[in-house]
């Protein structure tokens, strides 16, 4: 009888633990950003629709979600970004017609006049990568300097300087998209590191991997897990 009771109590404790929110979990807004980004990258409009509703219900503002979708063109291309924006427009109209009032949220502040975009972008990229100094150009930056200029001046300045998303949120959006795409392990390596550098904890990354597996399957989640484990291994004290 005692053995039976002990077994029941153990089973109940396991079930209960699974239903208790972890203190180190990503909040629902962050998880929604990952899901929105992953489904945008895949072009899955039906699941994107549900994730957009999930984000609004979690408390993301209309402008925050717009900002995520605008940023994603730099990673998924204009067609996927525009398709997602059009779907989001439909979602907001549908919710308004149903009497739901979603918070618009704040607009981004304008880019300061006279800013040196090349310098700002180079420093932002270095900071995201965990560097205190701008490294000398190498690889593709030397071979095709025009793309490096676009990356610095547009992505890492024009986009990352906008202040209606935090850098942590921007990196969650980025790794959400990259994690759902094939052939992006190199970019994922940089941006998973940047996500850690902007405040996402290794524990919170568990929830990131759950969202990627849900959106893109176990294979894609395993790729992301492998890249993440390699990054974390290099950061452990020797």
**DSSP per position, 154-196:** IIIIIITT--SS-HHHHHHHHHHHHHTSTT-HHHHHHHHHHHH
Give me the phi and psi of 43, to 5 degrees please: 75, 25
How far separated are the first and last CA of the chain, in Å rounded? 50
Cα(49)–Cα(114) distance, integer angstroms: 39
20/220: higher pLDDT? 220
Task: Give yes or no for a contact between 36 and 52, defined as CB atoms under 8 angstroms apart.
Answer: yes
Residue spans of the domains in the chain: they are: 26-109+162-235
pLDDT at 24 exceeding the cut of 80: no
pLDDT at 205 exceeding the cut of 70: yes
pLDDT reported for residue 1: 45
Q: How many residues does the chain have?
A: 238
Using pLDDT thresholds of 50, 70 and 90, give the confidence band for residue 21.
low
Per residue in 91-111, pLDDT tens? 999 999 999 999 999 999 988
Mean pLDDT of all residues belonging to the chain: 92
pTM of the model: 0.90
Per residue in 40-79, pLDDT tens? 999 999 999 999 999 999 999 999 999 999 999 999 999 9
CATH homologous superfamily for the domain 26-109+162-235:
AhpD-like (1.20.1290.10)
Buried b (16+ CB within 10 A) or exposed e, 226-238: ebbeebeeeeeee
Cα(88)–Cα(110) distance, integer angstroms: 24
pLDDT reported for residue 7: 45
Instruction: Look at residues 8, 60, 50, 5 and name the one whose alpha carbon lies nearest to residue 30.
Output: 60
* Overall average pLDDT of the 13-37 stretch: 75
pLDDT at 13 exceeding the cut of 70: no
Residue with structure tokens 């989640």?
A: 221
Q: What percent of the chain has pLDDT over 90?
A: 88
pLDDT reported for residue 221: 98
Per residue in 170-187, pLDDT tens? 999 999 999 999 999 999
Q: What percent of the chain has pLDDT over 70?
A: 91
Instruction: Look at residues 185, 207, 195 and name the one whose alpha carbon lies nearest to residue 232.
Output: 195
Torsion angle (degrees, nearest 10) of CA 47, 48, 50, 56: 160
Per residue in 117-139, pLDDT tens? 999 999 999 999 999 999 999 99
Per residue in 138-155, pLDDT tens? 999 999 999 999 999 999
Task: Give yes or no for a contact between 137 and 148, defined as CB atoms under 8 angstroms apart.
Answer: yes
Instruction: Look at residues 61, 234, 52, 11 and name the one whose alpha carbon lies nearest to residue 164.
Output: 61
pLDDT at 17 exceeding the cut of 70: no
pLDDT at 20 exceeding the cut of 60: no
Collapse the DSSP code of 88 into the 3-class scheme (helix H, G, I; strand E, B; otherwise coil) and give the result. Answer: helix
């Amino acid at each position: 009888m005692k053995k039976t009771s002990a077994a029941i109590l153990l089973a109940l404790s396991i079930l209960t633990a699974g239903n208790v929110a972890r203190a180190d979990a990503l909040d629902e807004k962050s998880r929604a950003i990952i899901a929105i980004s992953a489904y945008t990258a895949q072009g899955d409009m039906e699941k994107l629709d549900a994730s957009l509703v999930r984000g609004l219900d979690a408390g993301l503002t209309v402008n925050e979600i717009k900002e995520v979708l605008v940023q994603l063109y730099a990673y998924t291309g204009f067609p996927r970004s525009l398709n997602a924006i059009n779907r989001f427009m439909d979602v907001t109209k549908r919710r308004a017609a149903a009497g739901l009032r979603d918070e618009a949220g704040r607009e981004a502040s304008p880019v300061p006049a006279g800013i040196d975009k090349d310098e700002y972008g180079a420093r932002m990229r270095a900071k995201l990568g965990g560097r205190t100094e701008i490294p000398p150009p190498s690889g593709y930056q030397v071979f095709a300097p025009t793309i490096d200029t676009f990356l610095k001046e547009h992505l890492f300045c024009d986009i990352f300087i906008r202040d209606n998303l935090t850098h942590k949120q921007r990196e969650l959006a980025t790794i959400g998209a990259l994690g759902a795409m094939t052939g992006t392990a190199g970019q994922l390596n940089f941006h998973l590191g940047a996500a850690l550098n902007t405040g996402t904890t290794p524990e919170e990354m568990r929830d990131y991997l759950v969202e990627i597996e849900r959106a893109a399957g176990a294979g894609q989640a395993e790729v992301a897990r492998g890249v993440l484990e390699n990054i974390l291994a290099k950061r452990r004290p020797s």
